[in-house]
Structure 1
């Protein structure tokens, strides 16, 4: 047969054979899960050009290929090595006022603290107080007030920043602060904010002396193959004292719902205390990766005055991860919280496309008698992940879990509350993209009142939810199931 081929055919066949052998080796050495390995091999074999492009953008294991020069967990390790060692040594002796009557829960709390110490080099902070927000208007009004009070620096990092009505309000405020001598730095994700900020807006910021940078500039990421890896973080740091974290981006729809939704439901967290310094480390690291400038001056990491007031003693820890992290710390945190739950788990996420580990943890918890509750949006902004999520419903429902879809507006919050003792708020969705492909950050709060507040809001949201039952899932048509299952295969890209 080879003798019948023309020279060009023989050349192309040889190239294809070398391509097959080479890519097979690359995929096998990546040690992905067996089903993922098989899927990539078939894609690369039968769609050689398209498949290779998709693999470059979505399949490369960046845990083995460092994307950024510095990562927050590396800075934590350098700056807090002695504290990390002390907390590891004395972790068994840590006692919290909120859990003095629940010895069994202390064990679970210690596991979470130990996990983040080891995977993230993130230390436990004890001197904090907080304010929770469940909608955008009060979140942004409070943020404006704090910005007005800032005296030294304002650092803001958002996945999406728009030059809409809200964006212009903040532009006026930030420009006034910059002209008054306050350092203002803004960091936007290159893909998330692409085409959303006008030239006029950028000129105004520049004229006022505001520094703004693009994280993974879209002019470069499409060439480098990094366009699939997003900075999904949303944080604010003011004078190293006050910080914000949560699901809200800088855009009018995060207050009103915009043109697509009648309302917007989200969760944000204001922190006053030493946890702010860890969020400042995250910002400083991301700023360096975007500007090659280290914000290492002590003024960016001021000492905190510790108050004897019990309201200032809320234990918190930071969880952050990205595609090139040594460990997927936020996913591991969620897994740990779910699998170690004794009584109840409340999860809110707009999207639900977990990996097998998280799905199994949820099923196992429900089968073990834990009250597992999942709420996601019932008014989707993206149909594909909305449909793909339905492929997970049957097993969770059969295990005893309960699933709700929020109907009042778009539900965008990312929260988990476990056993009225631990809760987390941040930027990480309950999906593979957030777990493994995007740069995310979550606050973990070891406080009964905080965990109860997250649970209480979940229960209030139930008024506007439609519960999905096993009977509903069993009514899905064959076409409906085939469509959803096909989309589930694409879950890493969603």
Structure 2
């Protein structure tokens, strides 16, 4: 067999040395042991194939990025505080002290730095038709300011409906701020954005922005979905802007998703969550509005934003605290189920305590590798006593948590490593028995349309599928 030319030997040696250096970097910087091991193995043994993906996907936590983002958040908070735009917040917080649900989840405020406030009104919005009917109606009634943020915006029928509604309001003198994720909305045509800007809308794409290397980094994505109109009504949840979210695109149709309509003091935190992202991109605050005060009554809410620049692993710990707090029931719906060790342990312990632990997952894949990895984690959960269901009618994309009889959460966070440590996410916890009952009835209907996994399902799988699931699991920490 002919030997490699000398220059190719040198190239191979240099690649191997770079791969080893990158592997050391991964071991030092990647937060989870599983993720560090997955990258290190690939970089040492397959440097030619893994170096560029590591540059793009693997440098998960740049110190410079985190430092810059935290500094921007601090600057934004100082500027927002100078506005003194929510002087009644202490009064709204005082009413929550007697809540048993709030005491049960007492770590949340310290974890998130966001207050749990009273006097809110909430409405559960099921699927795209109901959600976007409410959102577009609210925007059409805007008089002063509209804040809009989505991970994905498509230039299709729903995207054009949103665009036309924003154009109409901008031409009427309403301030419009639109923020989309540059990766999630990579297919959005420039013409879509320029038409909005020509009408006076402020439109920005969220990206890492800082540093030459970070221009190649696509891991930090803004997965939040937020709409706020005149500081009076807000929306958040799982739905993006696209015809598939209306259930119009097979084979994933009908699309199953959930959103939340919110009114009350909790909109202060939801607006500041939007403002942090807007400030990161523009170094300017958007216009923030709230009524002078709210009438007594309504429900307790806490907005839980999370992201890769947090001091703590907020998103993962949110799920851990929610699961540990459950005494009777914890039901979670998520399209992607790749829990880390802490969340897996919390689920197992809850099942051992006799808690009714259920996970509702889709039966159709939109990302095949993630789906394969989720399948393996699902069978492990079943073995540990967790009840796992596969939703039958179409693709399930909702992100909902139900805790006992009095707490429910709706938002954008999935039960996977990307949401735990890479994405900017937001959840809204509602501490109210009637609302939790409404969520329970919704999920019971979803379960009735689902099939529960059993250990026999795993035994019936062909060997090649089991191998594929385990291969997918190797890469699950970096998916």
TM exceeding 0.5: yes
Distance in 1 (alpha carbons) for counterparts of 2:5 and 2:383 = 59
What residue is the counterpart of 2:227 in the other structure?
236
The within-5 A match list for 1:131-150 is: 131-150=123-142
**Cα-to-partner distance string for 1:34-87 (whole Å, 9 max, x where unaligned):** 44333322211122233222222222241634258445964786557999xx98
Is the 1:20–1:45 Cα contact (8 Å) retained in structure 2?
yes
How has the CA–CA distance of structure 1 residues 38 and 241 changed in structure 2, closer, same or farther, with 3 Å as cutoff? same
Is the 1:130–1:270 Cα contact (8 Å) retained in structure 2?
yes
- Which stretch of the first structure deviates more once superposed, 414-423 or 68-77? 68-77
What residue is the counterpart of 1:341 in the other structure?
326
What residue is the counterpart of 1:372 in the other structure?
357
Distance in 2 (alpha carbons) for counterparts of 1:52 and 1:284 = 35
Unaligned runs of 5+ in 1: 100-104
How has the CA–CA distance of structure 1 residues 371 and 52 changed in structure 2, closer, same or farther, with 3 Å as cutoff? same
The within-5 A match list for 1:117-196 is: 121-195=113-187
Is the 2:208–2:214 Cα contact (8 Å) retained in structure 1?
no
Unaligned runs of 5+ in 2: none
How has the CA–CA distance of structure 1 residues 330 and 192 changed in structure 2, closer, same or farther, with 3 Å as cutoff? same
How far the C-alpha of 1:411 sits from its partner, in A, is 0.9
**Cα-to-partner distance string for 1:407-464 (whole Å, 9 max, x where unaligned):** 1111110010111122211001111111111111111122222222222111011221
- Which stretch of the first structure deviates more once superposed, 430-439 or 218-227? 218-227
Distance in 1 (alpha carbons) for counterparts of 2:217 and 2:237 = 24
Distance in 2 (alpha carbons) for counterparts of 1:462 and 1:449 = 20
3-state DSSP of counterpart to 2:116: coil
2:98 to 95, 98, 112: 95
What residue is the counterpart of 1:54 in the other structure?
53
3-state DSSP of counterpart to 2:63: coil
3-state DSSP of counterpart to 2:284: coil
What residue is the counterpart of 2:109 in the other structure?
113
Distance in 1 (alpha carbons) for counterparts of 2:76 and 2:408 = 22
3-state DSSP of counterpart to 1:315: strand
Q: How many residues align?
A: 469
Is the 2:352–2:385 Cα contact (8 Å) retained in structure 1?
yes
How far the C-alpha of 1:31 sits from its partner, in A, is 6.5
What residue is the counterpart of 2:290 in the other structure?
302
Distance in 1 (alpha carbons) for counterparts of 2:255 and 2:12 = 55
What residue is the counterpart of 2:467 in the other structure?
482
How far the C-alpha of 1:131 sits from its partner, in A, is 0.9
Distance in 1 (alpha carbons) for counterparts of 2:248 and 2:336 = 17
What residue is the counterpart of 2:206 in the other structure?
215
Distance in 1 (alpha carbons) for counterparts of 2:406 and 2:192 = 44
What residue is the counterpart of 2:193 in the other structure?
202
What residue is the counterpart of 1:391 in the other structure?
376
Is the 1:221–1:227 Cα contact (8 Å) retained in structure 2?
no
Pairwise CA RMSD: 3.1
TM score, norm. by length of structure 1? 0.86
What residue is the counterpart of 2:256 in the other structure?
265
Distance in 1 (alpha carbons) for counterparts of 2:13 and 2:121 = 65
**Cα-to-partner distance string for 1:351-380 (whole Å, 9 max, x where unaligned):** 111112111211111122111011011122
Is the 1:186–1:213 Cα contact (8 Å) retained in structure 2?
yes
How has the CA–CA distance of structure 1 residues 172 and 62 changed in structure 2, closer, same or farther, with 3 Å as cutoff? same
Is the 1:428–1:442 Cα contact (8 Å) retained in structure 2?
yes
Distance in 1 (alpha carbons) for counterparts of 2:190 and 2:231 = 30
How has the CA–CA distance of structure 1 residues 7 and 259 changed in structure 2, closer, same or farther, with 3 Å as cutoff? closer
How has the CA–CA distance of structure 1 residues 489 and 371 changed in structure 2, closer, same or farther, with 3 Å as cutoff? same
How has the CA–CA distance of structure 1 residues 36 and 201 changed in structure 2, closer, same or farther, with 3 Å as cutoff? closer
Distance in 2 (alpha carbons) for counterparts of 1:217 and 1:65 = 11
Is the 2:16–2:47 Cα contact (8 Å) retained in structure 1?
no
